[in-house]
Each structure stands twice: as C-alpha cells, then as structure tokens.
Amino acid sequence: MNSFSRKSYLYDPESKEPFRVSRSKIDLFLECPRCFYLDRRLGVSKPGMPGFSLNSAVDKLLKNEFDLLRKSGESHELMKKYGINAIPFSHPDLPIWRDDVYRYEGASFLHKDTNLKICGIIDDVWANKEGELFIVDYKATSTSKDISLEDEYKQGYKRQMEIYQWIFKQMGFNVNNTGYFVFANAGKNRPKFDGRLEFELSIIPYTGNGSWVEPTILEIKKCLDSENIPDSNPDCEYCRYREKAEKEIKK
C-alpha cells in the first residue's frame, strides 16, 4: 500500500524536511509555473490521464530481455547492431532506480542549496568497459514514419534524458553525455491481426546537455517559496480552460 498521503506531497515553506520533486514535475514547471504551483503548493492537480497499459507491457518485456543479459554479462544483439560497446549495468539499487519496489523514489539526489530531492524513475542503464554509464529509456510507438527525436512533443524526451543524466552525475557516477532511446515500433502492415503485434526495435542516440537543470531547480525553489501564484504560460491549455470556465460561471 502506498504510505504517502496527499498532504505529504504538498510543499510547506516552514518544513525542514527535503521536498521531493520528480522529473515529471520539473517538466510541469517548465510547461506552466502556475499549474506547477497549484499542484505542488496548493494541492490542485491537473486532470489525470489514463495509463498506457500497452506501453507498460512493452517496457516490462524489454526490461525482462535486458535483465537476462545483465545476469550473464552479455551485450544485446541490438546494441551490437548499432555499434554500442556496452552491456546492461548491474547494481543493487537498480530495482529502486526503476521503481520495481514501488517506493515512488527512483534515482534521487538531495540538492542541498534548495533542500529539494530531485528524483527520476529510469528504464535502464548500460555500461562500457571503461566504467562509463549510459542512461537508457524505452519508448513504444506505432508509426510508418522514420523514428527520430525531432517531433515537437519529443523535446520532452530530451529533457527527460538530461534530468536523468544530471541525477546520476550528482550521485557520483561517471555518466556519458550520450544516452539511448530504445524504440519499439508496432507495425501496421500485416495482412491479418491474428492476436499479435510485431515490433521493430531501433536505437536513437542523444547527446544531452543538462546545464539547464540546476538553474531550473533554483527557479522551482523560488516558485515554491512564494506566497503569490505565478503567471501562467499563455500557451497552457489547462489555464485557458480554467479562465474561460470561470468567466462563464460568473455570467
């Protein structure tokens, strides 16, 4: 059972306890400071989204596949195909980093200047012979287009990778700036379904630059400490909805 209460997720400026800020909440702050403040300070969250159970199934199957090679210390054929000289990384804390134990913690680092505990739940880590780590994220999709990271909505993928890389560097690991996205692309061109989906696996490398992460953490701290609700992002659809609904209700 999840032991956390809703209240424990809210920021209290008077508390001396470290306050947890997840990778997704950092993304929320970048998307709209007002939505972030309402969520973390006032307890008013955006409407929830349904879980993507098919994506979760793909994640689990990929983890199982790479875990077999983790035990044997071998490289995956896909890694060999893309010239990646690495093997799945073994570490006793991997289940915590991946949240296999459901502590809602992931990999984490306490940023002492702000007393914010920055957390992120990863999919995988690979390592080369030199001891460098490569952060790995699994993505499930279904498209006839070439897989790339250039779509507008995939810019969040890049930030996600950079936050994970930053966390592991702060934890003291030797992290390569190159991370990898493993895409599982479900084909649509089979003549019959037959109760099966066939996926084509590919790897997209990405060289991260996490120089923005710490300045953003400092801005998040200022936002949380403020007694004033920040301005919304003009492009935030949730804020536009709230404002329009409030106007109509007042009529």
Residues 12-65 pLDDT 10s: 999 999 999 999 999 999 999 999 999 999 999 988 777 677 788 889 999 999
8: pLDDT confidence band, cut at 50, 70 and 90?
low
Burial class (CB in 10 A: 0-12, 13-18, 19+), 42: exposed
> Tokens 């012979």 identify what position?
129
Residue 215's H or E segment, with its range, is: helix 213-225
- Per residue in 182-205, pLDDT (tens digit) is 999 887 777 767 677 788 999 999
What is the chain's length?
251
Distance CA 151, CA 149 (A): 6
CA nearest 122: which of 113, 111, 135, 110?
135
pLDDT of 111-145, one tens digit each? Answer: 999 999 999 999 999 999 999 999 999 998 888 88
pTM for this entry: 0.90
Distance CA 86, CA 182 (A): 14
Tell me whether residue 119 is exposed, middle or buried, using C-beta atoms within 10 angstroms of its C-beta: 0 to 12, 13 to 18, 19 or more.
buried
Neighbours of 111 (CB within 10 A): 18
154 band by pLDDT with thresholds 50, 70 and 90: confident
Alpha-carbon distance 228 to 218, whole Å? 17
